[in-house]
Structure 1
Amino acid sequence: MIWPSTLRVPAHTDKEVNRKIEQTTIKKIASAALAGPAALDRRLAELEREWDIERTLEANAGFFSLLGLGLGRTVDRKWFLLPTVVAGFLFQHAVQGWCPPVPLFRRLGFRTRTEIDQERYALKALRGDFKNVPAITDEKLFAQIGALLQTVRR
């Protein structure tokens, strides 16, 4: 099955890893919300610099392809196999949303662009960037942030 682009990686990620990524996101949102407007701005700036899993895969594929080409040219022709394997991984990821490095990167906390954007929009909503979004109170902050993330996923 070919999954929609926004669901490919989470669909092929262990449920516990997805849960941990979501819990980390909720904690970061709550921390910024409780610390005030300057913290919301700082967290939004951090999100602008965060590498998503696609960029991470592309950078690693480029590195290992160049490494394989260099070693194939200078050490042993067998190293030319490395760029071929890497290209296969990239193709597999493009079609299925999974390739062997994905579980490792997900366990390291790399998120999809959609997951990063969900946090971004939740922070912007807390900052008051959007109208008609209910105010969040401290007593039910975590539950309300979870509901807010569900809203921005639609």
Structure 2
Amino acid sequence: MIPATNQRVELHTCDATNRQIAEQTRERIAFYSTRSPQEVSDRLLELDHEWDIERALECNASALAFSGVVLSATVDKRWLLLPGLVTGFLFQHALQGWCPPLPILRRMGFRTSAEINEERYALKALRGDFERIISRDGVHADAEAAFVGAEQ
């Protein structure tokens, strides 16, 4: 069975690494809970530029595949095995959420986009971005305010 897209990497990461990433995220949120709204905004900008695990894997795979093609054209045709192997691993990751470099990159601290978004939305909540979403009658929230709050 193919796991859900938003769960596949975490399901194929050891529990200790998942716990470490979650703990580091909690520590950052706790740190920024005592900071000014401007510092929280600065952290949110940093999160906009953080590479998630998918981007890191894609960059790694394309660099290795390109290197293999160049080496096969200039050194030896057997270097074509490298792009073949790398694209196979990338395909495996697309289906299962696991490939050989994944454990290494996760231990290096690369997070999934969902993990990055958890920090992002916690910081937005700390900054008060969602306060205007709560409706006056307590039942219906303003859809436009919800969209704007999530977008910021």
Q: What is the TM-score of this pair, normalised by structure 2?
A: 0.85
Instruction: Tell me which amino acid in the other structure corresponds to 1:66.
Output: F
Query: Within the alignment, does 1:116 sit opposite 2:116 as a pair?
Result: yes
The separation in 1 between residues aligned to 2:75 and 2:31, in whole angstroms, is 51
**Alpha-carbon distance between aligned partners in 2 of 1:40 and 1:33, rounded to the nearest angstrom:** 8
Aligned to 2:76: 76
1:21-77: CA deviation from partner (whole Å, max 9, x where unpaired): 000101111111212212111110100000000000000111001000000110111
**Which sits farther off after the overlay, 93-102 or 24-33?**
24-33
Q: Unpaired runs of 5+ in structure 2?
A: 134-152
CA distance in 1, matches of 2:34, 2:22: 18
Aligned-residue offset at 1:20: 0.2
Determine the structure 1 residue equivalent to 2:141: none
Deviates more, 1:27-36 or 1:83-92: 27-36
**How many residue pairs align between the two structures?**
133
Secondary structure at the aligned position of 2:131 is classed as: coil
Q: Distance in 2 between matches of 1:8 and 1:130?
A: 29
Q: How does 1:83-98 map to 2 (within 5 A)?
A: 83-98=83-98
Cα RMSD (Å): 1.2
Query: What are the within-5 Å matches in structure 2 for residues 1-154 of structure 1?
Result: 1-131=1-131
> Does structure 2 conserve the Cα–Cα contact (< 8 Å) formed by 1:33 and 1:39?
no
Distance 2:131 2:41 in 1: 18
Displacement of 1:132 in angstroms is: 7.9
> Runs of at least 4 residues of structure 1 off by over 2 A?
none
Query: Using CA pairs below 8 Å that are at least 6 residues apart, which structure has the higher relative contact order?
Result: 1
Measured in 2, the distance between the counterparts of 1:35 and 1:126 equals 10
Structure-2 separation of matches of 1:33 and 1:40:
8
- Matches of 1:38 and 1:32 in 2, distance apart? 10
SS of residue in 2 equivalent to 1:35: coil
Larger Rg belongs to: 2
Query: 1:140 matched to which residue of 2?
Result: none
Deviations along 1:87-107, one digit per CA (max 9) or x if unpaired, are 001100000000000000000
Any unmatched runs of 5+ in structure 1? 134-154
Question: How far apart, in 1, do the equivalents of 2:132 and 2:93 lie?
Answer: 38
SS at match of 2:33: helix
Q: What TM-score do you get using the length of structure 1 for normalisation?
A: 0.84
- Give the letter aligned to residue 87 of structure 1: T
